[in-house]
């Protein structure tokens, strides 16, 4: 369970206080797929940043399972980001000189897993996103949608508790966006991870069992 209780994050801009998150209360059950929508400036990125342990609330409580992110130490936050969190970005962020398989394996190798464990895990995740035939390809040989599915496989490889995605279909044409959406729905149906996805796509947002609408730092 992800639980936010009265989470407030205030920025100051030109001397004025901006409540990017204004006493937000939210519960996302383990394994749930939640979409987040709302107009520019409503606080979506701030919500992702506090969930990702990159920013701390000024007040309130934010729990990821039994970990209190609002009071976690820097060491706990580093461990949380490394072990419990998968992140998918709008622009994929794959390493161009590595193959698809190597891109997915890399986070596992970086955290000390031996290659003989990392490789089958990468292959399993690439099978999950339907890219088994692309293992040896390089990112520039893939479509945008395929690159995003590699990024999703990479984010899941380390068995995170929480998958955060910021506009995962924002940079894709409709056909590629549809494939990425199908992949996300497949992952959601298997309940292998809690997913919170910020999107401007009303289609993707509506497909999520939990649709969070934000306005002016609040959840509607
Ligand atoms: N570092 C910062 N310093 C000052 N104000 C900030 C900062 N980060 C965000 N804000 C303000 O907080 C509010 C929420 O911003 P946030 O980026 O979370 O919105 P958003 O919904 O993600 O917007 P977009 O869809 O445009 O990315 C906005 O008014 C923004 O200007």
Place of tokens 């590629």: 176
Is the pLDDT at 4 greater than 90? The verdict is yes
Give me the interface pTM, i.e. the ipTM.
0.95
Is the pLDDT at 13 greater than 90? The verdict is no
CATH architecture for the domain at 31-56+83-219 = 3-Layer(aba) Sandwich (3.40)
Rounded to the nearest integer, the mean pLDDT of the chain is 96
The mean pLDDT value for 41-59 works out to 95
Domain positions in the chain are 31-56+83-219
Output the CA 159–ligand 1 centroid distance in Å. 30
Q: Which helix (H) or strand (E) holds 180?
A: helix 174-190
Please say whether the beta carbons of 8 and 60 come within 8 A: yes
Q: State which of 20, 164, 165 you would mutate to test the pocket of ligand 1, scoring each by most atoms of that ligand within 8 A of its C-beta.
A: 20
Alpha carbon nearest to ligand 1 atom 26, residue: 40
The mean pLDDT value for 52-76 works out to 95
User: pLDDT of 82-109, one tens digit each?
Assistant: 999 999 999 999 999 999 999 999 999 9
The mean pLDDT value for 67-82 works out to 94
Q: State which of 44, 58, 196, 218 you would mutate to test the pocket of ligand 1, scoring each by most atoms of that ligand within 8 A of its C-beta.
A: 44
């Amino acid at each position: 369970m992800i639980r936010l209780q009265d989470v407030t994050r205030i920025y100051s801009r030109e001397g004025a206080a901006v409540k990017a998150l204004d006493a937000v209360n939210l519960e996302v059950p383990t394994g749930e797929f939640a979409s987040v929508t709302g107009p520019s400036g409503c606080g979506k990125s701030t919500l992702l940043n506090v969930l990702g342990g990159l920013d701390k609330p000024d007040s309130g409580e934010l729990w990821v399972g039994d970990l209190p992110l609002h009071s976690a130490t820097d060491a706990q936050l580093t461990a949380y980001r490394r072990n419990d969190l998968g992140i998918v970005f709008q622009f994929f962020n794959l390493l161009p000189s590595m193959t698809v398989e190597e891109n997915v394996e890399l986070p596992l190798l970086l955290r000390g897993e031996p290659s003989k464990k990392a490789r089958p895990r990468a292959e399993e995740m690439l099978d999950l996103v339907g890219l088994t035939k692309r293992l040896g390809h390089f990112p520039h040989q893939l479509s945008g949608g395929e690159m995003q599915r590699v990024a999703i496989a990479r984010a899941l490889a380390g068995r995170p508790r929480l998958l955060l995605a910021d506009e995962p279909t924002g940079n894709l044409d409709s056909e590629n966006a549809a494939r990425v959406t199908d992949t996300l729905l497949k992952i959601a149906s298997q309940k292998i991870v809690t997913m919170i996805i910020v999107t401007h796509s009303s289609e993707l947002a509506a497909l999520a069992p939990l649709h969070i609408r934000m306005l002016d730092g609040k959840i509607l």
